[in-house]
Amino acid sequence: MHLDYPDNPLIEFLYWLINTPGLGGIMASVVGGGILLAVGATLRWISKGGQALEPEEFAYPTPALHSHEDTG
Amino acid sequence: MAKWSMVIDLDKCVACQGCSIACRFENNTPVVSPEEAALGRSILWNEVFPLRSEGEAAIASAQAKFLTRPCMHCEDPPCIKVCPVGATYKDDEGIVRQNYARCIGCRFCTVACPYGVRYFNWYEPSWEEGMDTHLNPDRVAGRGDLEGPAIRPKGVVEKCTFCIHRHHKAIARAEAEGREFRNSDYTPACVQTCTAKARFFGDFDDPNSTVSRLSQSRRAFRLLDEAGTSPKVIYLHEG
Amino acid sequence: MLKADQKDKDKLIKPLFETGRTYWVTIAILLAIIGWALYMYYRQLTLGMKVTGMQRPVYWGVYMVNFIFFIGISHAGTLISAILRVTGAEWRRPITRVAEAITAFALIVGSLQIIIDMGRPDRLLSVILNGRLQSPILWDVLSVTAYFLGSITYLYLPVIPDAALLRDNLPPYSPAWRKRLYSIMALGWRGNRTQWIRLEKAIAVMAVLIIPIAVSVHTIISWILATTVQPGWHSTIFGPYFVVGAIFSGIGALFIAMTIVRWKLKLEEYITEKQYNNLGLIFITMSAVWMYFTYAEHMIITAGQEVYEFPVLTSKLWGDYAVSFWVMVALMVVSFWIMVIPRLISKTAKRFLVFQPRFTTGAVLLAVVTGYYLVTDSTIPGLSGINPETLFFLVRGSLLVELLFVGLGVAKWFKTRLVAATTVAGVMVVIGMWLERWNIIIPTMTHPYLVSWAEYHPTITEVALTAGSVALFIFMFLVFFKLFPIISIWEVAEGRVIDAERAKVTIPMPEASGIKERLRGKGIRKARG
Ligand code: SF4
Ligand code: SF4
């Protein structure tokens, strides 16, 4: 006896989704590409932070940096 | 649409392995050397083997029960579910097919099949001199996929296809003769060759076909029914 | 221009530019092993998979074991360092970089195993072009991709300020390409307030995101096995079981890496006993959970009345795989013992005879003699009168007691040697977890439903590729840490600042008289401070 799925368009669609060769690759590319984009954007965002007009530079996150954290 | 199915009467089967050999020549399965065969690398789409529970003693005294085993062409095949690329798939008529051109050789299906039906090409197939010129030239028509008797490259999985190319040939012949395709036009090589006429093949959806009627027999059973695969090969018990 | 602290400069930056002979010799050896493995892989490509020991029905062998093992190791890092970061465990600071590097490299080596295992690696792209979402392999592709990209990022983010620091503090004799490398890696890092805040935010978000991904990765790897109907695999426990095992082996690998790094670069000031102690506690927990799962998995099979699962179980308990199974159990038990028992016995245990070295030596000798009699099955002089069955239990029982005494003596020795104990336990667990993967895959593969049972012996090709994989892992590790500091300089500095702040706060001693009694009870005579 095998699993009998009800005749339901949603279930049929889901089955099509998991059973069609190629869709998995698209999904993988979307996930991979999405992560890469997000990472790239984050790195850019961090890098761009350097353009802020702040004269002080900290080699380490010292107390001087932290004491102003809430205002910054 | 037919639902192809096979019935094997174990009472009639004499374990002559004729089906194995017929299959080998029909489907160009490569021959392996004795050393490789001892390692468990022989390829027999239809294998005839003694059942494990009988033990060595039973084999020695010729009491062992033998089983002939093609692909079950499961209704709910675990092999298809796990294939990452759709290299193995069920066609409209319920035959579980294998596309050598797409298989990536991950061997997930071989692990998933409970019947040990699937074989991996551990190396480039080769034939002895003389044999190599007498291979079956039949090919499966289609999208240019490598299927059925086509020569496999190394590193892919192959398995019994119910002689799918014979199906295609039968349809083509019926067309050429200008008549309707009849179910009896199509028989796999093992069924055709069977010494004891123990194998039957036909449309399971047709209530009057031999397979349908035999499957109603009290001796009918399916192999490893508990695996939930719903095989389309039905056995008839001995005795 | 960012200025590095003098201590960091000497301890962390200088070794990056001064390379000793041992380093090059190690690299050469590793490259030789990798070269050998490459040659063997080339043979496998041209001759086909027949050069492996795999056959029908053992379609998966050592490569699959390695795959699960390496992906397991990769949980060292990201998961541990992410969990510690999220929970704000301060002591994590010196070890996060090592842990994250293990993750990234183990993932690369692990994913490589799949390609090695494929019959048609040339069709790898097919997994993307024709990928079917129903197959657990696709789930794996998804989660491993996410995990890999995530952990590379997670490794890279904290490197940014360090790369900037290196860029500005290069020793005069360093080659020009390194300056270029660090400037690129630093992404124009200036260290102004906005950048620091953004960086810490990004790291915090990553740390949270990476945890569910890491859990999903090993769950899905277990599902590759559990979604088949093979005897012994089709179990719901596999997901959590594999995740716990992965974290467990990950910590083991981390211990080994930490100790080597600490010893080679003399970083005792950075990686202290505190890291070993705290991580050791997590290790003990994981060990206990792992044993629970292992017990549950096997125990349920005995009650399951599944005729196809019994042969798999018995092959592990007393059949073909008894050696690998019981060695695994022994390694896990012993590693648990040397992590737990030294913590339990008191410092003054020396008073008791069983903890004295001469007693332990005696026990070792006796155990060797008893073991000898047991293995060779020879008669023991003077005891020939005893009924053989009684003798059987007598010999085994006395061996157990002797081993217990040895264990106690060893535990005493490890009491004052936390680092040694932890490292030994780490090595044991890494080996034990490899065996665990083996014990899960091979016995099931050799005991299928219908096909006759088989044996599996890995060939030299599989050995070579395994050795090559390990070598590649170490090689990447060594190269990476020749280029980047092994300890996250800025994070440790931040930790120092936090510690200094904390030290300023003094908590007055409570005056309640009961305190004195309680302290005395603990063996402290005078309240300090
Ligand atoms: S018998 Fe095996 S190969 Fe054939 S359809 Fe069933 S699972 Fe697939
Ligand atoms: S070996 Fe081939 S047919 Fe089998 S699961 Fe992998 S890709 Fe599919």
- The tens digit of pLDDT for each residue in C223-265 reads 999 999 999 999 999 999 999 999 999 999 999 999 999 998 8
Tell me the pLDDT tens digit for each residue of C283-312: 999 999 999 999 999 999 998 888 889 999
**pLDDT cut 90: percent of chain C above it:** 61
Residue spans of alpha helices (H) in chain B: 18-27, 34-38, 55-60, 78-82, 108-112, 164-176, 189-193, 210-215
Q: Please name the residues in contact with A50: beta carbons below 8 A apart, sequence gap of 6 or more.
A: C188, C189, C190, C192, C194, C195
HSE, side-chain direction, 13 A CA sphere, residue C157: 31
Q: How far is CA C157 from the centre of its chain?
A: 23
What pLDDT band is residue C144 in, cutting at 50, 70 and 90? very high
Tell me the pLDDT tens digit for each residue of C480-499: 999 999 999 888 888 888 88
Q: Is the CB of B44 under 6 A from ligand 2?
A: no
Ligand nearest to the CA of C117: 2
HSE, side-chain direction, 13 A CA sphere, residue C62: 18
A61 touches chain B (CB under 8 A): no
CA angle C488, C489, C490 (to 5 degrees): 100
Chain A neighbors of C128, CB-CB under 8 A: 25, 28-29
What pLDDT band is residue C395 in, cutting at 50, 70 and 90? confident
Residue spans of alpha helices (H) in C265-387: 273-303, 310-317, 322-344, 357-376
H and E: helices and strands count for chain C: 21, 0
Q: Work out whether strand B220-221 and strand B233-236 pair parallel, antiparallel, or are unpaired.
A: antiparallel
What pLDDT band is residue C525 in, cutting at 50, 70 and 90? low
- How much is the pLDDT for C393? 83
Contact C405, C412 (CB under 8 A): no
B residues 46-105 closer than 8 Å to C (CB): 49, 52, 69, 78, 81-87, 102-105
Give me the domain span that covers residue B26.
4-236
For residue C325, pLDDT over 70 is answered with yes
Residue nearest to ligand 1 atom 6, measured at CA: B74
Q: How far apart are CA C269 and CA C265, in angstroms?
A: 11
- How much is the pLDDT for C514? 63
Backbone angles phi, psi at C456, to 5 degrees: -135, 125
Average pLDDT, integer, range B61-66: 72
Residue C403's identity, in one-letter code, is L
Chain C neighbors of B157, CB-CB under 8 A: 119
Q: How far apart are CA C192 and CA C183, in angstroms?
A: 16
Q: A58 versus C252: which is more confidently predicted?
A: C252
Contact C257, C98 (CB under 8 A): yes
- How much is the pLDDT for A66? 60
Nearest-by-Cβ selection for B76 from A2, A21, A24: A2
- How much is the pLDDT for C374? 79
Average pLDDT, integer, range C409-423: 90
Pocket of ligand 1, beta carbon within 6 A: B 71-74, 77-79, 96, 113, 115, 117-118, 159, 229
Distances (CA, A) of C377 to B142, B151, C387, C388: 68, 57, 15, 11
For residue A70, pLDDT over 90 is answered with no
For residue A69, pLDDT over 50 is answered with no
Q: How far apart are CA C404 and CA C408, in angstroms?
A: 6
Burial track C329-358 (b if 16+ CB lie within 10 A, e otherwise): bebbebbbbbbbbbbebeeebeeeeebeee
- How much is the pLDDT for C285? 95
Nearest CA in chain A to C205: A42
The dihedral over CA atoms of C312, C313, C315, C319, expressed in degrees to the nearest 10, equals -160
Residue spans of alpha helices (H) in C74-135: 77-86, 96-117, 126-129
What is the average pLDDT score of chain C? 89
Please name the residue that has the structure tokens 């389309």. Answer: B232
CATH of the domain at B209: 3.30.70.20
- How much is the pLDDT for C507? 66
Q: How far apart are CA C124 and CA C131, in angstroms?
A: 10
Sheet with B199-203, edge to edge strand ranges: B199-203, B4-9, B233-236, B220-221
For residue C421, pLDDT over 90 is answered with yes
Distances (CA, A) of B91 to A7, C487, C518: 20, 58, 79
Q: How far apart are the first and last CA of chain C?
A: 43
HSE, side-chain direction, 13 A CA sphere, residue A17: 7
Could you tell me the maximum CA-CA distance found in chain A, to the nearest angstrom? 74
**pLDDT cut 70: percent of chain C above it:** 94
- How much is the pLDDT for C73? 93
- How much is the pLDDT for B144? 60
B residues 123-162 closer than 8 Å to A (CB): none
Contact C103, B54 (CB under 8 A): no
For residue B56, pLDDT over 80 is answered with no
Q: Which of A30-39, B135-144, C204-213, C311-320 has the lowest mean pLDDT?
A: B135-144
- How much is the pLDDT for C107? 95
Ligand nearest to the CA of B70: 1
Q: Please name the residues in contact with B13: beta carbons below 8 A apart, sequence gap of 6 or more.
A: B66, B68, B196, B198
Average pLDDT, integer, range B220-238: 92
Nearest CA in chain A to C184: A47
Is the Cβ pair C134, A18 closer than 8 Å? yes
Average pLDDT, integer, range A16-30: 92
Ligand 2 atom closest to the Cα of residue B105 is 1
Q: Is the CB of B80 under 6 A from ligand 2?
A: no
Would you list the DSSP string of C179-197? HHHHHHHHTT----HHHHH
Average pLDDT, integer, range B54-83: 81
For residue B154, pLDDT over 80 is answered with yes
- How much is the pLDDT for A68? 47
Contact C402, C363 (CB under 8 A): yes
Q: Percent helix, strand and coil across chain B, each rounded to 5?
A: 30, 15, 55
Tokens standing for residue C249? 């082996």
Residue nearest to ligand 2 atom 4, measured at CA: B109
Q: Which of C312, C429, C475, C458 is nearest to C69 (CA)?
A: C429
How many interchain CB pairs under 8 A, A with B? Answer: 13
Tell me the pLDDT tens digit for each residue of C94-121: 999 999 999 999 999 999 999 999 999 9
What pLDDT band is residue C529 in, cutting at 50, 70 and 90? very low
Q: Report helix, strand or coil for C166.
A: helix
Q: How far apart are CA C350 and CA B192, in angstroms?
A: 85
**pLDDT cut 90: percent of chain A above it:** 50
- How much is the pLDDT for C117? 95
Contact B75, B4 (CB under 8 A): no
**How many other CB atoms sit within 10 Å of the CB of residue C122?**
13
- How much is the pLDDT for C480? 94
Tokens standing for residue C291? 């044993």
For residue A67, pLDDT over 60 is answered with no
Q: Which of B119-128, C303-312, C376-385 has the lowest mean pLDDT?
A: C376-385
3-state secondary structure B166-232: HHHHHHHHHHHCCCCCCHHHCCCHHHHHCCCCCEEEEECCCCCCHHHHHHCCCCEECCCHHHCCCCC
Q: How far apart are CA C23 and CA C17, in angstroms?
A: 12
**pLDDT cut 70: percent of chain B above it:** 94
Distances (CA, A) of B170 to B24, B165, C150, C189: 20, 9, 55, 73
For residue A72, pLDDT over 70 is answered with no
Ligand nearest to the CA of C59: 2
